Structure 1
């Protein structure tokens, strides 16, 4: 038990960097910003896997040791508890005056059998396990306390097993969608994708598609987001190859379904949880080249840098003539009154 407590403390300490340092599988854009702001620490942190703490070898070693320690602790205690729960209460001592707590009293004018019957009824009502024979009455309780203790440790072991299962067979991915665009659950559609060692993207990625129909956000005067939600249209039709198709913009498929994504309220599709983890600006940009032709046009994603959504982005126009064009921009919310 002492070993399990030490390992549990080590696991809690090992999880601290995962809370303080942006994780690439949770918020890759925050991790990228952190790396750009700390160029000297980044190589050291990458060698220590501090940007992917929960999938690192040292973190996995701690929780595997904890799981083994819990198994070694629960097994013998469970056998001892099973035997004790089925055994009779301990025998009565020959001399009660040797007990640390004892009391003697006279039941007259009632008989000893009547008094024992009343005591047996009272102890049974208080959930004692009672055994009565010719020598007297024995009672014992307290098994639920040990059962709760074992249940707690078994639950902790179940959490560790579930965590390991998710890391081996699960995946996390991130993608930036602009209002009016669509997403298909395929590996090539993700901007960032991290999977477990036993995950097979060709078999385990569930086929579905969605359109980002509307996005609504509420802001404070300083530009900080107060609340936001996204309305998506799910496409449930599939092609003969098993890949989902996007519902048409007009006259959507009758099997299309509308759903709403909110902060901390994931949308579940075929055991796949979809989270709305953030948002930002995608200004509509038009670039004309030296010949007056449109070389680039459309919404451009700018990555937020702070809580006020100050954002930076890059615009590329490789088809511009006579030379290719590229721009680096910064999008800021004007200060409030």
Structure 2
């Protein structure tokens, strides 16, 4: 057990870098920034796997050693406990007066009557009656075996909890996705459908639980100070046989009320706004752009992003790259202007407005490199391939006209919701072991292991010396009062027998 406690301390110590340093599984960009800022020290920590603490070899080694140590500690204790459960109560000590608790008295009763009264009083105790060579009769009784049972249940449940957590990390996955709240759909058919995805060590993303979700509407309520009071998304979902029949089932998704389907849990974790822009190109063709913008202020939900367009009807690649458009800037759900500067006064979309910068040129989307949907490639701006051609504030319904006759109209905003899908096949086992940990700990702390012995020695003339001794196997606290009541009943038990004989 000492080894197990040492390893548990090392495990807690090893987990500290996971809380203090950025982790690749959570934010790879932050890790790259940290390494760049700290030079050789950052690279050394990377070589030592301090940015992947929970998947590192040294953390896994401590984890496995803790398992081995706990098993090596618990198995011998289990065999010993099983042996004790089969064993008979120990012999009555020769000198009971040396016990921590002791009482004695001379009574007018036979040893047999004293023992009979003691057995009635000790009903529910594990006990055995013996006869000694000098004619004395003894009763050995024990109680509190459930204390060790609770102790073992606690430790085995703790071991099971660790195993369940480990299996959950291996077989589970977690992903986030943004879905438009105007009938937008998401299907759990592959990792490519997620905006971010964290698989377990044994998950390759090819065998996800199939289900689909369609978000019909979203509603948020706020207090007068802008603090969110409730988020609610009205959605429909289908899984199992519903996928074949095309049946959609309604569900009201709230922050603390996840959708449970196909063994997965779908949480509502955030929301935001999607500005709607309609672009009318010089040839008269129109395009409508609806791309979510991300909140940069979680109080007022002022958001930023980039809505990008390709010119319609252009087949020449070079000409198409020269005519691409990007609308970037700031979205305010409830607009307030400080001069020409736009800000948001409230998170609800009461009076939406945008402050936009319009860029025209090569967006760099044909380069083969990944590009954020929330921003433009600043390298293309620096190279002069992407030029700013307009800047203007627009309220809902207002528009601006570019130098080539292109018209950009701001039509308003729509809601989007951020959903998190969590799959953990061991969650039932985690709950079960957690309950057993609490129950086992409660039993081991509330029950005391104690022993009591009674010796009835004949003195002649029909008199008997009764001696009672008590011993708490673990902690004597609280046993004194119990022993006093027990010994008082045992010493007076013969009187009940005498009264019965008189009657």
TM > 0.5? yes
Change (3 A) 1:289 1:185: same
Bigger CA radius of gyration: 2
Task: Provide the alpha-carbon RMSD of the alignment.
Answer: 3.2
Using the alignment, how far apart are the partners of 1:129 and 1:208 within structure 2?
57
1:40 and 2:37 are equivalent in the alignment: yes
Q: For residue 2 of structure 1, report the CA deviation from its aligned partner.
A: 1.9
**TM alignment of 1:1-16, pairs within 5 A:** 1-16=1-16
Counterpart mapping for 1:207-222 below 5 A:
207-222=210-225
1:55 and 1:167 in contact (8 A); partners too? no
Cα distance change of structure 1 residues 234 and 11 upon mapping to structure 2, 3 Å threshold: same
- 1:41-100 Cα shifts (integer Å, max 9, x gaps): 696686666666544444433332222221111111111111111111111122223434
Q: Which has the higher contact order (CA 8 A, sep 6+)?
A: 2
Q: Distance in 2 between matches of 1:110 and 1:279?
A: 84
The Cα shift of 1:5 comes to: 2.0
- Counterpart CA distance in 2 for 1:21 and 1:278 is 25
Deviation of 1:150 after TM superposition, in Å, equals 1.0
Taking a change above 3 Å as real, the CA distance of residues 305 and 3 of structure 1, as seen in their structure-2 partners, is farther
Match of 2:109 in 1: 110
CA deviation profile, 1:230-250 (whole Å, cap 9, x unmatched): 2221134779xxxx47x9xxx
Alignment of 1:212-251 (within 5 A): 212-236=215-239, 244=243
Aligned twin of 1:74: 74
SS at match of 2:179: coil
Q: Is the 8 A contact 1:314 1:327 kept in 2?
A: yes
**How many pairs does the alignment contain?**
316
Question: Which residue in the other structure is 1:85 paired with?
Answer: 85
**TM norm structure 1:** 0.80
- Structure 2: gaps (5+ residues): 133-137, 313-319, 334-343, 347-503
Provide the rounded CA distance (Å) in 2 between the counterparts of 1:159 and 1:225. Answer: 35
Alignment gaps of 5+ in structure 1: 248-252
Counterpart of 1:276 in structure 2 is 268
Structure whose residues are more often strand by fraction: 2
User: Which of 279, 295, 320 in structure 2 is aligned with 1:304?
Assistant: 295
The alignment partner of 2:94 has SS state of: coil
Task: Give the aligned partner of residue 134 of structure 1.
Answer: 131
Alpha-carbon distance in 1 for matches of 2:235, 2:47: 39
Give the distance between the partners of 1:24 and 1:275, measured in 2 at CA: 23
Q: 1:326 to 1:205 in 2, by over 3 A?
A: same
Counterpart in 2 of 1:250? none
SS of the residue corresponding to residue 176 of structure 1 reads strand
Q: In 1, distance between residues paired with 2:9 and 2:31? A: 29
8 Å CA contact retained: 1:224, 1:307: no
SS in 2 for 1:214: strand
